[in-house]
Amino acid sequence: MIDIYNNVTAFISLKPRKFLLLGLSLLFILMVSFFLLSFTKISDNYPTKGYVTCDKDCILMAYLPSDIPLEEVTFNNKNYDYEVLNTEIYVPEPSIVSLKKITFKVKHKFQNNEIVNLNFYYHKQRIIVKIKDLMF
């Protein structure tokens, strides 16, 4: 009977040490991941579609809201070299939202009359700053 009591007390005395070690290691992992995430930068993105017309050169046209800056663009989720040929403000008659009509010359062979998926990346910030802006 005494041996069982000693075993139970020995088990109870060992159990908090394991939980303390597990808790401290979990806290350390969370702190390291938070530290790494605070220096990682992410961008907002605006997905849209563009239309390709090819005569001599292939030209891609797309519309996006005028408040979105043109910082980085991907075409079909790939980065190609591009040149912005023309940017003009366009306001459709029935709406009050202004759009930008952007004309690109992309150094990639797209087919004539092809619809291309575009992603406009803008406002690159650290993750911790974005979380802070969302909270306050």
Residues 63 and 48 in one domain: yes
DSSP track, 100-134: EEEEEEESS-PPTT-EEEEEEEEEEEEHHHHHHHH
pLDDT digits (tens, 9 = 90+) for 67-101: 888 888 999 889 888 889 999 988 878 878 889 99
Structurally, how many domains does the chain consist of? Answer: 2
Provide the residue type at 62 as one letter: A
The pTM score is 0.68
Indicate if the pLDDT at residue 61 is higher than 90: yes
Q: List all residues 6 or more positions away from 43 whose beta carbon is below 8 Å from its beta carbon.
A: 71, 72, 121, 122, 123, 124, 125
Residues 60 and 110 in one domain: yes
Q: pLDDT band for 12, please (50, 70, 90 cuts).
A: low
Residues 21 and 60 in one domain: no
State which residues form the domain around 8.
1-39
Q: How many CB atoms lie within 10 A of CB 75?
A: 20
Interior angle at CA 135, CA 133 and CA 136, nearest 5: 70
Q: Report the CATH number at residue 78.
A: 2.40.30
Helix (H) or strand (E) holding 16: helix 2-39
Helix (H) or strand (E) holding 53: strand 41-54
Say what the pLDDT of residue 13 is: 65
Residues 65 and 100 in one domain: yes
Residues 68 and 32 in one domain: no
